[in-house]
Amino acid sequence: MNSLEEIKSEKCISVETYRKNNQPVQTPVWFVIKDDLIYVVTRDQTGKVKRLRNNLQVKIAPCNFKGKIKGQWISGTAEILSEEKTKEIAKLREKKYGLMAKIAKFLSKGKGELLAFSIKVD
């Protein structure tokens, strides 16, 4: 079974991104999987996006809503997506998370524009 199969049924994954000094930062996020890629929708002013702009290497692991890890870490490479692709992924996220996604979208408005990134696992 590949690593994507293992996390497909999860509600959250922890994404580990790296500061300029290589210090890891773990953030629990919602995600969707499409075409063997993991997609995360966030805002362009968040810390994880700033860190990704410096280093596209990431690690992911299944976690609970509070970020407690409950599985193996997997290495991957992130890619920041276009505005058009972001809209498509945001729709998929709303389908998976329903009303919660709409509320999160509204509450996070102060953190900039919607932005999605993909993660290709190694």
Reduce the DSSP state of residue 1 to 3 states and report it. Answer: coil
Cα 67 from chain centroid (whole Å):
13
- Confidence (pTM): 0.94
The mean of the pLDDT values for the chain is 95
Domains and CATH numbers, the chain: 3-121 (2.30.110.10)
**d(C-alpha 94, C-alpha 55), whole Å:** 28
Q: Encode pLDDT of 17-64 as tens digits.
A: 999 999 999 999 999 999 999 999 999 999 999 999 999 999 999 999
CB proximity list for 119: less than 8 A, separation 6 or greater: 15, 37, 38, 39, 40, 58, 60, 76, 77, 78, 79
The C-alpha angle with vertex 36 and arms to 32 and 37, in degrees rounded to 5, equals 50
